[in-house]
């Protein structure tokens, strides 16, 4: 089922004694999430991700705008009538109940026409448990499970009511690195299998990029960019988005455009047709550097790091925002480590120009 967010806004009253100014946690979020897709909601802590989810599931009321599930306006519907499955960072399982009881718990409270028999509840619990591959653990208690298994129980519990929408709020944050990788693939598999429209919240760009059909990048309550992960990476609309996506992160330099030449430091590094003379921020992806003896851009070589398939050349440049410039080059390339400087040519499609004042992309 598609989810329509129409100019969704949430303001909180100011709590700070000094400033009574209200906080706009979500500001005019306007987007239609297509049916059956997994959307990654991505942004730094405090940007409004959880608030957006709380509005969608009904735990909070919007200050403005509407929410539709399919054609139904659910803006004023209480959470229990929305058909939403929720999973949070802390699995919040009942410690004294078995896995099976934890999973059937949301079904126990169904009343009236929705009321289920015990057999039916168990059947549904086993179905959900099978989906997340914990059917062998049904008689255990949460304390007897690993973090990853506990999170699977939480996911099974969210799925057991056969929700129309699945909302996951940083569900992998409490897991160690390896489990995080494994569980995110599981979530992707389960989502594909069930075709439930899913919103996955994370502050981890790598996580969002790897499992989402669509990513939404947020900053201070405002949506910055929406698109397929690769498209957003290849075509960021502003410096914030460019910096938020990618590991190692994009390298940012102070530059100047003069007569359609881009200068970084004193060097003309690239021809930029059609760009007016101005000061700019230059973003260069690590994979945008090509080692070249007579290349137009020179950096001070610090060291080489071998990362299996690739080589990372770490250098410094006086115009770079960060203490070091990180470039990734093919492992076959030869780097003269005795030299103090290293020269690069730049791949134009991996280099972006941004307005110095606003950070907005210059095309």
Residue 142 touches which member of ligand ADP, Mg ion, none, C-beta under 5-8 Å by kind: none
Cβ(26)–Cβ(9) under 8 Å? yes
Q: Is 240 in the site for ligand ADP (CB under 6 A)?
A: no
Site for Mg ion in 33-92 (CB under 5 A): 50
Out of 12, 96, 108, 277, point to the residue binding ligand ADP (CB under 6 A): 12
For residues 34 and 70, give the distance between their C-alpha atoms in angstroms, rounded to a whole number. 10
Among residues 89 and 194, whose Cβ is nearest to ligand ADP?
89
Q: Is 50 in the site for ligand ADP (CB under 6 A)?
A: yes
For strands 38-42 and 214-219, give the pairing: parallel
For residues 34 and 37, give the distance between their C-alpha atoms in angstroms, rounded to a whole number. 6
For the record, the structure tokens of 180 come out as 């995080």
Site for ligand ADP in 315-334 (CB under 6 A): none
For the record, the structure tokens of 235 come out as 């075509």
Question: Least distance to Mg ion from the beta carbon of 203, Å?
Answer: 8
Out of 6, 36, 37, 46, point to the residue binding ligand ADP (CB under 6 A): 46
Residue with tokens 């929720």: 86
Residue 84 touches which member of Mg ion, ligand ADP, none, C-beta under 5-8 Å by kind: none
Among residues 55 and 153, whose Cβ is nearest to ligand ADP?
55
Q: Is 47 in the site for ligand ADP (CB under 6 A)?
A: yes
For residues 166 and 33, give the distance between their C-alpha atoms in angstroms, rounded to a whole number. 12
Residue 197 touches which member of ligand ADP, Mg ion, none, C-beta under 5-8 Å by kind: none
Closest CA to 249 of 330, 160, 322: 322
Question: Least distance to ligand ADP from the beta carbon of 280, Å?
Answer: 30
Q: Is 117 in the site for ligand ADP (CB under 6 A)?
A: no
Residue with tokens 């992707």: 188
User: What are the residues facing 201 on neighbouring strands?
Assistant: 41, 169
């Amino acid at each position: 089922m598609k989810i329509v967010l129409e100019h969704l806004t949430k303001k909180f009253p100011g709590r700070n004694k000094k400033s009574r100014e209200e906080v706009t946690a979500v500001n005019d979020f306007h987007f239609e999430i297509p049916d059956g897709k997994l959307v990654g909601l991505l942004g730094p802590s405090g940007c409004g991700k959880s608030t957006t989810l709380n509005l969608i599931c009904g735990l909070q009321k919007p200050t403005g705008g509407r929410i539709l599930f399919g054609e139904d306006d659910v803006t004023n519907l209480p959470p229990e009538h929305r058909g939403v499955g929720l999973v949070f960072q802390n699995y919040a399982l009942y410690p004294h109940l078995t896995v099976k009881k934890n999973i059937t718990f949301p079904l126990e409270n169904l009343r009236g026409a929705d009321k289920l028999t015990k057999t039916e509840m168990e059947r549904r619990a086993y179905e959900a448990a099978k989906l997340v591959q914990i059917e062998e653990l049904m008689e255990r208690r949460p304390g007897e499970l690993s973090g990853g298994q506990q999170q699977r129980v939480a996911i099974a519990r969210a799925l057991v009511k056969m929700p129309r929408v699945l909302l996951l709020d940083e569900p992998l944050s409490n897991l160690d690195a390896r489990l995080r990788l494994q569980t995110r693939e599981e979530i992707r598999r389960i989502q594909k299998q069930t075709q439930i429209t899913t919103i996955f919240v994370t502050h981890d760009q790598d996580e969002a990029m790897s499992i989402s059909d669509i990513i939404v990048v947020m900053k201070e309550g405002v949506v910055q960019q929406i698109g397929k992960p690769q498209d957003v990476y290849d075509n960021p609309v502003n410096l914030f988005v460019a910096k938020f996506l990618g590991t190692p992160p994009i390298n940012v330099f102070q530059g100047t455009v003069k007569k359609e030449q881009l200068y970084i430091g004193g060097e003309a590094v690239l021809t930029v047709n059609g760009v007016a003379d101005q000061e700019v921020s230059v973003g260069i992806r690590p994979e945008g550097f090509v080692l070249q003896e007579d290349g137009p851009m020179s950096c001070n070589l610090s060291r080489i790091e071998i990362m299996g398939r690739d080589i990372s050349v770490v250098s410094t440049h006086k115009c770079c925002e960060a203490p070091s410039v990180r470039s990734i080059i093919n492992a076959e390339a030869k780097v003269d480590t005795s030299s103090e400087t290293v020269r690069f040519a730049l791949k134009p499609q991996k280099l972006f120009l941004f307005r110095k004042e606003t950070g907005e992309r210059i095309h």
